[in-house]
């Protein structure tokens, strides 16, 4: 992939050039997602977002979206599972 080689050559993070999701979990109660495309499903116990690499699902309790900006969202609540669904979005 050309973009991957460019990122390596310029010594910049690959996700910055090719729109890969960056998922940061802090403990079990805070989660940030960068480079997400759109929210597909949201409730207080389930979040599904579309990403370039497929649908990403988060399960938990008392989930709340704290911040939503283009390509960035933060979530708080008791997070119990994070997983990609089979197949590409």
Token digits of residue 27:
């403990």
Please, what is the average pLDDT of the chain? Answer: 87
- Work out the number of other CB atoms within 10 angstroms of the CB of residue 49: 20
Distance between CA atoms of residues 31 and 29, nearest Å:
7
pLDDT in tens, 16-34: 666 788 999 999 999 999 9
pTM of the model: 0.77
Domains of the chain: 19-84 (2.60.40.2000)
CA angle 30, 36, 41 (to 5 degrees): 75
Distance between CA atoms of residues 5 and 76, nearest Å:
35
| Between 57 and 13, residue with greater pLDDT | 57
């Amino acid at each position: 992939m050309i973009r991957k080689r460019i990122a390596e050559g310029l010594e910049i993070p690959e996700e910055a050039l090719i729109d890969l999701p960056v998922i940061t979990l802090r403990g079990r109660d805070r989660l940030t997602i960068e480079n997400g495309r759109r929210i597909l499903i949201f409730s207080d116990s389930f979040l599904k977002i579309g990403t370039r690499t497929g649908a990403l699902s988060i399960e938990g309790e008392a989930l709340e979206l704290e911040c939503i900006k283009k390509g960035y969202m933060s979530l708080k609540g008791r997070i119990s599972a994070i997983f990609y669904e089979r197949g590409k979005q």
